[in-house]
Structure formats: structure tokens, C-alpha cells
Amino acid sequence: MTVTVPWAHEAFGSGPVLVLGTSYLWDARMWQPQIEALAARWRIIVPLLPGHGNDVPLHAHPATPAELARQVGSLLDSLGVERFALAGLSVGGMWAAELALQRPHQVGPLLLMDTSLAAEPAPSLARYTALLDALEHAGAFPPALIEQVVPLFFRPGLAPEDPLRRAFSEQLAHWPAARIDAVVALGRLIFGRPERLQALRALDPARTWVAAGAHDVPRPPHEAVAMAEVIGCRCELIPDAGHIASLENPVAVTALLRAWLDETG
């Protein structure tokens, strides 16, 4: 019998449970402003993607975000969590939507940020596949690859010397080689995901919000609008933000989370 080790996670605060899903190539630090603002009221659990700030491998070679969701569900079961609010950004939003479909009796408020459940468009799939091939071949993030990857996560025009960009570049440059295999495998899963947009019709529109950075490059705002139309739920665009909206415009995102929790909880 194969035993799947639960994902690594970080936990903060106390109270009802709020689960935060992270972006590809990021860990709990991407939610730091929101954690600081909400931990006095909420027990916040941040599942960490395999190979992201931890040495947990990608178990059982999951092929879809739905399988990632099952692994997160197992983690939450191991922590004794029975009901929770759930916000996910990027791949965190992909598995969050699938988890809400799998466990509607457990997921209360649901926020899907800077994400898409549609299949990856062919042009960006080709681009990201080439980047993953280069990463796999190098076994690390060399400077030329970092120069291509970093701008994807921030709004266009954010200066290269901006502290957010510099810190992310340093993080990639020092990514442990032992974790690269999990990162490559997870990237292929994310960008090779199946078409699941219409499945979102089963979500509860009264408990679900969709949001996106107004200047998101990899997950442009029109994808958020399309998801909200399928669900029939509220959609918010976050000004002055790209993909990692939680750090680029933390004040707006924190206010968004407070409003979402207050109005759908």
C-alpha cells in the first residue's frame, strides 16, 4: 500500500480556518501582508506546493489540478480541519476550485484569484513548455532564464530594481537543485491542465468571488471575467497589480479578502 505524505504547510493565528493557496514558484511569503492583517481573527493554513520552500516531492505524479486538490484535502484531513474558507491564487486557485467541487460540504467562502480553469492557450503553452524544458536541462535557474521568468509575475513597467522583483530574482537564483524536478513536474501539470471552465457552473455563486490583477500577464483579466460569468458570481479587478497581486497591491487585496469573508461567510 502506497502512503502519500501530506504536503508541507505553514500555519498562523487562531479562529475559524482560512486556507490560502499559493502561486507557482512562491510560498507563504506571497500572502504575508494578508496573513499579518487577518491572523488575529483567523487560523490561516498555507499548503506549500511540493518543492517550494520544502523538500516534499510531488507524490504519485498527479496529472491534474483536481489531483492536487485531493492531496490538499488529505493534508487538511490530517490537520483535523472540517470546514474552511478558501482563497487561492494562480495554481492555488486551480486546485482551490477543484477542492470546492470535491468537498462542497467543507468549503465555505471561495475566492479564485489570478487563475484560470480553462486549458492553457496554445501560444502561452508553447512558451511555458520551452521555459520548463530549459529549466529541466539546466537543473537550476540561470540568469538568462530568470530574466524571462520574473517579469511574468509582475505588472508591466515594474522596474527591474524594484524590491519585489529583486527579491524574487534572488529566490530563483538560489533555488535548491534538489527541488528542481518537482518544480518542472508541477509546471508541466499546471500548463498542461485539462479544460475545466464549464465545471465551475457547479460552484455556489453566493459564496464565490473571482479577482485578478488588472495588469496580470500570464492570467489576463479577461480570463477572470469569463470564469465569473460561468459561475454567475462577483468579479473584482485589482488596480496597479499583476500576477502576484497580494504583494503588488497588498492594501487592496487585504481589503478584498476582508470584504469577501464578511459578505460570504
**CA-CA distance, 260 to 216, in Å (whole number)?**
21
Count CA atoms closer than 13 A to 169's CA, side-chain side.
Answer: 17
Domain layout of the chain by residue ranges: 9-119+195-264
Beta strands in the chain (DSSP E): 9-12, 17-21, 43-47, 84-89, 107-113, 208-213, 234-238
Question: Which pLDDT score, from 0 to 100, does residue 1 have?
Answer: 35
Q: What is the mean pLDDT of residues 65-76?
A: 95
**CA-CA distance, 40 to 230, in Å (whole number)?**
34
- Rounded to the nearest integer, the mean pLDDT of the chain is 94
Question: Which pLDDT score, from 0 to 100, does residue 261 have?
Answer: 98
Question: Which pLDDT score, from 0 to 100, does residue 5 have?
Answer: 56
CATH H superfamily, domain 9-119+195-264: Alpha/Beta hydrolase fold, catalytic domain (3.40.50.1820)
- Residue ranges of alpha helices (H) inside 103-141 are 122-138
208-230: pLDDT as tens digits: 999 999 999 999 999 999 999 99
187-205: pLDDT as tens digits: 999 999 999 999 999 999 9
Q: Is the pLDDT of residue 2 over 60?
A: no
Residue 156 to residues 19, 42, 68, 242, Cα–Cα distance (Å) = 29, 33, 30, 8
The pair phi, psi for residue 194, each rounded to 5°, is -80, 165
107-132: pLDDT as tens digits: 999 999 999 999 999 999 999 999 99
Residue 262 to residues 82, 168, 207, Cα–Cα distance (Å) = 20, 32, 11
Q: Is the pLDDT of residue 61 over 90?
A: no
In degrees to the nearest 10, what's the CA dihedral of 129, 133, 138, 143? Answer: -30
Q: What is the pTM of this model?
A: 0.95
